[in-house]
Structures are given as structure tokens and as C-alpha cells.
Amino acid sequence: MKNAKQIFLLADVDDNLIDSGREPKVPGAKPVAWDNKGEVCGFLTPKQQVMLDWFRAGCEVVPTTARSTDAMRRFKLPFRRYAITAFGGTVLGANGQPLSKWRQHVEAPAQAAQPVLAELLALVKREASAASIDARCVLLNDYGIDMFLSVKHNSRNLEELSALHAVLVEAVEAGWTVHKNGNFVAVYPPYLGKEKAARWFIDNVVPKGAVTIGMGDSLTDAAFMGECDYVLFPKRTQNSRAFLEGIKAMANGGK
């Protein structure tokens, strides 16, 4: 890879590179992400713009996201090369197209997981209906394969969403992941995971000797961040709280 950058930043997108949400949280934030209905679902704050400019000057930025590839392409962000999308279900190469070797690696286990995902979708829809919970329950599809179950509350009622989260935790088989962060619950099978795609990407795409940095806000991001040489996370996130609380507990003798 002639003239390739020697620092690769594998960064979760929502609440890291951008702020997810329907409304701006700080003055000066500009819309940069839209959903499939054309509605704004993410903003870039002035501080994030500063960080983004800094990253781009010295790093190959690799979005590493739960979002589908199509959703990533609706972002008005300067990333059209490498990316890890759909919780690691797809890895995009330097030309912005899926890398066939990774696709071949995940295709068979993905197909085997389809019936279980369909059952979990039916279950959470039944539970939401029975409890009159207004939730969006869908299977996220990427390049023709249903990758994982996504559940969001239409009114951001996190208590009701937690009830559905508990149902799914009880229902999944060993090895499956039930991820919860804010108004988002995701369930995905053992073959999937940002950390698995990140490890493969580092071993097969990143130039030998290059430095890797993992950036993420949620606890489930910690696994892929741990595959990198350095880790980075924003303030006031699951990861920063866990880190600071852990440090304080250690300083107090584990109390």
C-alpha cells in the first residue's frame, strides 16, 4: 500500500464521530446523517468537526458501526473508503465495496442464523404488542443478509425498552450478544461482532507496522477497541463512566 497512512482509527460513528438524535444537542451542530425516510438522525458538533479534521489529517478513519452500509452512505461525512458496518457483518475495502474474503467468511453462519433471528423478531413483537409498547422491531439487512435484530422505542421510553431487553436476554442462546445503549437494543449471533471484523481487518488490510486506535462509546465497543494498539472514548459515555468508576474503585481498594 504505497503512501498509505500509518495510523488507522477504527471509530464507532454514533456519539463518537457524530451525535445521534433528531435534534441538535449543542449550538452550531449541523445535520450530517439521514434515515431512510429522509429525516435527520445525526449531527456534527463544532468540537466533533475539530476532532474530525485532526483525525483526517493523520489517520485513515475506518467507521466501525452497527449501522448498515446503506445507512452509512446516507451520512454527509468524508468517508468513502474503508468501513466495518452491520456490527461487523460487512467490511468495505479501499474502493468502498465489500471485501469478498470477509463476505465468504460470514455468509454460511449468517444463513444458519436466519431462522433464529426470525423467531426472536416474532417474539419481541409479540411481547411489545402484549404490553402496548410502541417499539420499532426490525431485522437489519446488509447486502441481502439479515444480520441482527434491532429494537428501538418510538417515544424513547427507556423503561419500556428495558422490559423488551430483559425478554431478549432470557430468550437468546449461549454465545449470542444482547447489546443495549440508550434507545437501542440489538441482538446478534456468535459469528458477528465488531471485534471479529476488526481483528480480521487489522490482520489482512492494515499495513504491517501501522498503528491502530479503537474509538467507541458503548460497553460492547470495548471488545473491538481491545484489538487495537490504543483506545479512545468520548466523555459521558458508557465506556468513560465504566473506566472512571473502575479507576476510582481501584484507588479506594476495590470498594
Cα–Cα–Cα angle for 71, 238, 74, rounded to 5 degrees: 10
Looking up cell 500500500 gives 1
> Do both 17 and 92 map to the same domain?
yes
> Do both 198 and 183 map to the same domain?
no
Domain boundary among 188, 214, 243: 188
> Do both 57 and 112 map to the same domain?
no
Structural domain span for residue 206:
7-101+193-234
Of 8-12, 26-30, 80-84, 250-254, minimum mean pLDDT range: 250-254
Rounded Cα–Cα distance for residues 231 and 218 (Å): 13
> Do both 55 and 122 map to the same domain?
no
Cell of 178: 444482547
Tell me the pLDDT of the chain averaged across its residues: 94
> Do both 48 and 120 map to the same domain?
no
> Do both 147 and 173 map to the same domain?
yes
Q: Is the pLDDT of residue 79 over 90?
A: no
> Do both 226 and 167 map to the same domain?
no
Q: Is the pLDDT of residue 21 over 50?
A: yes
Whether this model's pTM surpasses 0.75:
yes
Q: Is the pLDDT of residue 20 over 80?
A: yes
- Residue 2 within a domain: no
> Do both 90 and 200 map to the same domain?
yes
- Residue 15 within a domain: yes
- Residue 182 within a domain: yes
- Residue 248 within a domain: no
Whichever domain contains 42, its CATH number is: 3.40.50.1000
> Do both 97 and 30 map to the same domain?
yes
Domains: count for the chain: 2
Rounded Cα–Cα distance for residues 13 and 10 (Å): 10
- Residue 242 within a domain: no
- Residue 205 within a domain: yes
Q: In sequence order, what are the beta bridge partners of 232?
A: 215
- Residue 86 within a domain: yes
User: What does the H/E/C string look like for the chain?
Assistant: CCCCCCEEEEECCECCCEEECCCCCCCCCEEEEECCCCCEEEEECHHHHHHHHHHHHHCEEEEECCCCHHHHHCCCCCCCCCEEEHHHCEEECCCCCECHHHHHHHHHHHHHHHHHHHHHHHHHHHHHHHCCCCEEEEEEEECCEEEEEEEEECCCCHHHHHHHHHHHHHHCCCCCEEEECCCCEEEECCCCCHHHHHHHHHHHCCCCCCEEEEECCCHHHHHHHCCCCEEECCCCCHHHHHHHHHHHHHHCCCC
Domain boundary among 133, 160, 188: 188
pLDDT band at 1 (very low <50, low <70, confident <90, very high): very low
Rounded Cα–Cα distance for residues 124 and 59 (Å): 41
Summarised one tens digit per residue, pLDDT across range 23-33 is 999 999 999 99
- Residue 250 within a domain: no
Nearest alpha carbon to residue 102 among 223, 228, 230, 202:
202
Summarised one tens digit per residue, pLDDT across range 39-56 is 999 999 999 999 999 999
> Do both 144 and 92 map to the same domain?
no
Percent of the chain with pLDDT over 70: 98
Q: Is the pLDDT of residue 174 over 60?
A: yes
Rounded Cα–Cα distance for residues 222 and 63 (Å): 15
Nearest alpha carbon to residue 136 among 44, 218, 65, 36:
36
Name residues whose C-beta falls within 8 Å of residue 73's C-beta, 6 or more positions apart in sequence: none
> Do both 163 and 141 map to the same domain?
yes
Whichever domain contains 148, its CATH number is: 3.30.1360
> Do both 207 and 86 map to the same domain?
yes
Q: Is the pLDDT of residue 149 over 80?
A: yes
Q: Is the pLDDT of residue 2 over 60?
A: no
Torsion, Cα of 111, 12, 38, 183 (10° steps): 80
Nearest alpha carbon to residue 183 among 19, 17, 21, 11:
21
